[in-house]
């Protein structure tokens, strides 16, 4: 009974912080709009660099998709804790008698939600560009799991770099090396949708494994990062 | 480790030193052993070790490359261990050790990449391939640089120490995963399969062992020096901020 009520409290706390972030974002609309436009712009730039056509899709489509998503995600991830800090609300949030993991999980879910909104805008464009059905095979689970992996690491380091001056510079430097396995698995799984290759490891399963490993590590360490 | 335990708590040291510091015996001994070992290694590498039948003289860089790469990896483990113990014990000496190991590790990883690249040019005809080992070394280098940048941006604060510890712990678990996933990523291209050395002759193993031991001794001596330097930097910084408060 005691653990159950504690768990209930934990979920209430996560939902409360998540709700606050969603309300803030709905009112300001600054993060996801910018991220969405950015993702589309990456496609435009990629088009000039790699000639995004249906004929080249097996070679360039997975790369273009994931570069756009990872870059756009990082823009939003950098804002999560930085916005709190600029508004002066980070200290108050940390003063709340709330489990640090609840704050982290709420921020993670919020980030995942914003990135998912951006992907909802970018995926149809991507599908039209390369004439892929949005619901073909495992595209949606791959996108979701890959995004989760990026968001897990990104949210943790967003909290870390929020206090520094050069956070826009520092965040990608910290996040990119660590998300290499997630990016490899996501790009390969997306590529397998377009060109079936023999002897491929189960990338989707590996993606799940990487997400589980990173999430456990992040939950173990987030209380050290979210201290002031 | 003995030297680190001897230094005592930081607050204690802020008091004016009354007695002369003891002779750094461990450090001197390590330096002397490393010096002798290095001399022997250089002799063994160039005069004792046999010239490789296929690769020729360029193979001798292997005796430098392998110890340096080993220390680059060992250093990251020390950074992560120092960070983990720091988080657990809240004793900043472990953080100083982690920072010192990160500085040494960044240098050794750079040397690994440079020597590997030179050897690759001579043997494979290319400076770089995206092989699992090379890619992982490069990611390790990026992690060291990110660690040092993070630490310098956050200043000499407990926040910086904790953030560094978390980065190092994530990194030390991530690096083997990166190695494996790059391996899987490359399974499609069996042509990238490179460097399958057969059984090494005993003299090669002997020289390699000698080089490994000498470099590790040298690394130990270097780590103590770096640790002391980091410690003095922190103490000096603390004194400086205290003076500013008095003003």
At B55, which CATH number?
1.20.120
Please check the confidence at residue B6 and state whether its pLDDT lies above 60: no
pLDDT number for residue A84? 83
Q: Is position B19 within any domain?
A: no
Phi, psi angle pair for B91, to nearest 5°: -105, 120
Residue (of A163, A80, A86) closest to B154 by Cα position = A163
The minimum CA-CA distance between B80 and chain A, rounded to whole Å, is 13
**Distance between CA A89 and CA A171 in Å, rounded?**
21
CB pairs under 8 A between A and B: 87
Which residue of B169, B181, B187 to mutate against A (max A Cβ within 10 Å)?
B181
User: Within 13 Å of residue A67, how many CA atoms lie on the same side as its CB?
Assistant: 14
Over the range B193-210, which residues count as b (16 or more CB within 10 Å of their CB) and which as e?
eeeeeeeeeeebeebbeb
What's the average model confidence in pLDDT over A215-221? 93
**Distance between CA B220 and CA B240 in Å, rounded?**
30
**Distance between CA B168 and CA B161 in Å, rounded?**
10
Q: Say whether A224 and B171 touch across the interface (CB within 8 A).
A: no
Which residue of A62, A90, A164 to mutate against B (max B Cβ within 10 Å)?
A164
Q: Could you report the per-residue pLDDT of A79-113, keeping only the tens digit for each?
A: 888 888 888 888 888 888 888 899 999 999 999 99
- B186: which chain A residues are within 8 Å (Cβ-Cβ)? none
Please check the confidence at residue A68 and state whether its pLDDT lies above 70: yes
The mean pLDDT of chain A is 86
What's the average model confidence in pLDDT over A50-75? 84
Q: Is position B158 within any domain?
A: yes
Total tally of structural domains belonging to chain B: 1
Higher-confidence residue of A50 and A211: namely A211
CA A159 vs. chain centroid, Å, equals 14
Q: Could you report the per-residue pLDDT of A117-153, keeping only the tens digit for each?
A: 888 888 888 888 888 777 766 888 999 999 999 999 9
Residues of A with CB under 8 A from a CB of B: 153, 156-157, 160-161, 163-166, 170, 173-174, 176-178, 180-181, 184-185, 188, 197, 199-201, 206, 210, 213-214, 217-218, 221, 224-225, 227-228
pLDDT number for residue B189? 40
- B145: which chain A residues are within 8 Å (Cβ-Cβ)? 173
pLDDT number for residue B190? 40
Higher-confidence residue of B25 and A31: namely B25
B194 DSSP 8-state letter? -
**Distance between CA B247 and CA B229 in Å, rounded?**
27
User: How far apart are the two ends of chain B, measured CA to CA in Å?
Assistant: 38
Q: Is position B4 within any domain?
A: no
Which residue of A82, A149, A181, A215 to mutate against B (max B Cβ within 10 Å)?
A181
- B159: which chain A residues are within 8 Å (Cβ-Cβ)? 163, 227-228
Q: Say whether A224 and B165 touch across the interface (CB within 8 A).
A: yes
Residue B105 token pair? 């590790």
Q: Say whether B159 and A165 touch across the interface (CB within 8 A).
A: no
Q: Could you report the per-residue pLDDT of B89-114, keeping only the tens digit for each?
A: 989 999 999 999 999 999 999 999 99
pLDDT number for residue B197? 53
Please check the confidence at residue B148 and state whether its pLDDT lies above 80: yes
**Distance between CA A156 and CA A223 in Å, rounded?**
10
* Residue carrying structure tokens 């990872």: A70
Q: At what angle do helices A139-161 and A57-86 cross, to 10 degrees?
A: 40
Domain that holds residue B115: 26-187+203-246
Q: Is position B13 within any domain?
A: no
Residue A43 contacts residue A52 (beta carbons within 8 Å) = yes
**Distance between CA B75 and CA A173 in Å, rounded?**
20
pLDDT number for residue B23? 78
Top-ranked range on mean pLDDT: pick from A78-87, B193-202, B217-226: B217-226
Task: Measure the CA angle with vertex B128, ends B124 and B130; round to 5°.
Answer: 105
Q: Is position B92 within any domain?
A: yes
pLDDT number for residue B10? 47
* Number of Cβ atoms within 10 Å of the Cβ of B31: 18
The confidence band for B16, taking pLDDT boundaries of 50, 70 and 90, is low
Higher-confidence residue of B20 and B234: namely B234
**Distance between CA A186 and CA B168 in Å, rounded?**
24
What's the average model confidence in pLDDT over B213-222? 95
Residue A188 contacts residue B185 (beta carbons within 8 Å) = yes
Residues 6+ apart with CB under 8 A from A54: A130, A131
Residue (of B104, B86, B90, B125) closest to B221 by Cα position = B104
Q: What is the ipTM of this complex?
A: 0.88
**Distance between CA B68 and CA B227 in Å, rounded?**
19
What is the Cα gyration radius of chain A? 18
The closest CB to that of B150, out of A170, A184, A200, belongs to A170
Q: Is position B96 within any domain?
A: yes
pLDDT number for residue A1? 57
Please check the confidence at residue A58 and state whether its pLDDT lies above 80: no
Whole-Å CA distances, B46 to A50, B36, B39, B59, B116: 49, 16, 11, 11, 18
Q: Could you tell me the pTM of the whole model?
A: 0.87
* H helix or E strand, kind and range, residue B43: helix B25-43
pLDDT number for residue B9? 47
What's the average model confidence in pLDDT over A46-57? 79
Q: Could you report the per-residue pLDDT of B166-176, keeping only the tens digit for each?
A: 999 999 998 88
pLDDT number for residue B129? 84
Q: Say whether B181 and A206 touch across the interface (CB within 8 A).
A: yes
Q: Is position B54 within any domain?
A: yes
The minimum CA-CA distance between B67 and chain A, rounded to whole Å, is 24
Q: Is position B192 within any domain?
A: no
């Amino acid at each position: 009974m005691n653990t159950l009520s504690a768990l209930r409290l934990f979920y209430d706390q996560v939902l409360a912080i998540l709700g606050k972030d969603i309300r803030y974002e709905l009112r300001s609309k600054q993060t996801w709009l910018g991220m969405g436009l950015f993702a589309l712009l990456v496609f435009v730039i990629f088009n000039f660099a790699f000639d995004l056509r249906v004929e080249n899709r097996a070679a360039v489509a997975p790369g273009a998709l994931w570069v756009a998503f990872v870059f756009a995600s990082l823009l939003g991830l950098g804002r999560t804790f930085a916005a709190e800090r600029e508004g002066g609300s980070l200290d108050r949030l940390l003063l709340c008698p709330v489990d640090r993991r609840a704050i982290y999980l709420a921020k993670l879910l919020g980030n995942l939600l914003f990135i998912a909104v951006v992907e909802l805008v970018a995926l149809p464009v991507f599908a039209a560009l390369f004439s892929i059905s949005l619901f073909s095979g495992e595209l949606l689970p791959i996108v979701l799991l890959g995004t989760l992996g990026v968001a897990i690491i990104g949210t943790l380091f967003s909290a870390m770099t929020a206090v520094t001056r050069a956070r826009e510079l520092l965040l990608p430097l910290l996040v990119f090396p660590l998300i290499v396995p997630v990016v490899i698995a996501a790009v390969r799984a997306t590529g397998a949708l377009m060109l079936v290759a023999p002897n491929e490891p189960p990338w989707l399963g590996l993606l799940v494994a990487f997400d589980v490993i990173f999430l456990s590590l992040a939950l173990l360490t987030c209380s050290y990062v979210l201290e002031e | 480790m003995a030297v680190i335990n001897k230094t005592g708590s930081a607050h204690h040291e802020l008091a004016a030193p009354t007695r002369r510091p003891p002779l750094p015996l461990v450090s001197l001994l390590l330096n002397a052993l490393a010096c002798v070992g290095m001399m022997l290694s250089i002799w063994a590498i160039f005069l004792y070790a046999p010239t490789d039948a296929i690769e020729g003289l360029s193979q001798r860089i292997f005796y430098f490359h392998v110890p340096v790469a080993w220390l680059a990896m060992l250093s990251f483990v020390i950074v992560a261990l120092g960070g983990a113990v720091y988080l657990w014990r809240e004793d900043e000496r472990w953080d100083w050790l982690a920072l010192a190991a990160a500085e040494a590790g960044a240098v050794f990883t750079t040397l690994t990449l440079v020597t590997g690249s030179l050897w690759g040019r001579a043997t494979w005809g290319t400076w770089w391939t995206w092989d699992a080992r090379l890619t992982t070394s490069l990611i390790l280098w990026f992690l060291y640089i990110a660690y040092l940048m993070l630490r310098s941006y956050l200043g000499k604060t407990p926040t910086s120490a904790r953030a560094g510890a978390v980065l190092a712990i994530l990194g030390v678990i991530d690096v083997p995963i990166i190695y494996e996933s790059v391996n899987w990523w490359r399974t499609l291209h069996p042509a990238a399969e490179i460097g399958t050395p057969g059984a090494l002759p005993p003299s090669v193993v002997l020289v390699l062992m000698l080089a490994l031991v000498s470099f590790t001794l040298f690394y130990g001596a270097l780590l103590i020096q770096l640790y002391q330097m980091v410690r003095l930097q922190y103490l000096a910084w603390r004194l400086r901020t205290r003076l500013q408060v008095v003003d």
